[in-house]
Amino acid sequence: MEIYLRPYIESDAQTILEIINYNIINSTSLYDYNPRTLEQQKYILQDKITKGYPVIVAILNNEVVGFGSYSEFRFREAYKYTVEHSIYVSNNFQGIRIGHLLIEELIKIAKNQKLHTMIGVIDAENQVSVKFHEKYGFKNVGVIKESGYKFDRWLDSVFMQLILK
């Protein structure tokens, strides 16, 4: 079982959409309410690429099983060395280190792009993701209480930061 990474191509969009929509519908990892369309997802991914940010996919048995990317943290010019990342793994392929491969590659790319810091915004209920990020040196730098509302409850956002060296 060999998992490898490669840059996103447009034909990956449908599988990425399925991963994203599963998380929108079934989890608090995305604070969206409504599933995305294929056109919306393609636009989001292409926008990142156009701006010079990476979108990478994890492949197992010729199938996209996860993806990762980052983009601007905020739009003000002084934030240009800070990015916010996202990693999603297909629900059918959890626990086989796909997320680890993706975060390691994103960190490597960010360092090569001479970025200074990477931010992860994680729902506080997702302690698996918090612990995952801690393994890579991300520090909890704050919690925004009741910043999201989904599934009839208020959600807290944990901000985790990695200073890239």
What are the pLDDT digits (tens) for 14-58?
999 999 999 999 999 999 999 999 999 999 999 999 999 999 999
What is the Cα 72 distance to its own chain's centre? Answer: 12
What are the pLDDT digits (tens) for 117-152?
999 999 999 999 999 999 999 999 999 999 999 999
Enter the tokens of residue 20.
């994203």
- The reply to whether CATH 3.40.630.30 applies to domain 3-163 is yes
Helices marked H in 51-154: 98-112, 127-135
What are the pLDDT digits (tens) for 108-124?
999 999 999 999 999 99
Per-residue pLDDT band for 1 (boundaries 50, 70, 90) equals: confident
Segments making up each domain of the chain, as ranges: 3-163
Q: What is the reported pTM?
A: 0.95
Enter the tokens of residue 147.
């910043």
* Neighbouring-strand partners of residue 126: none
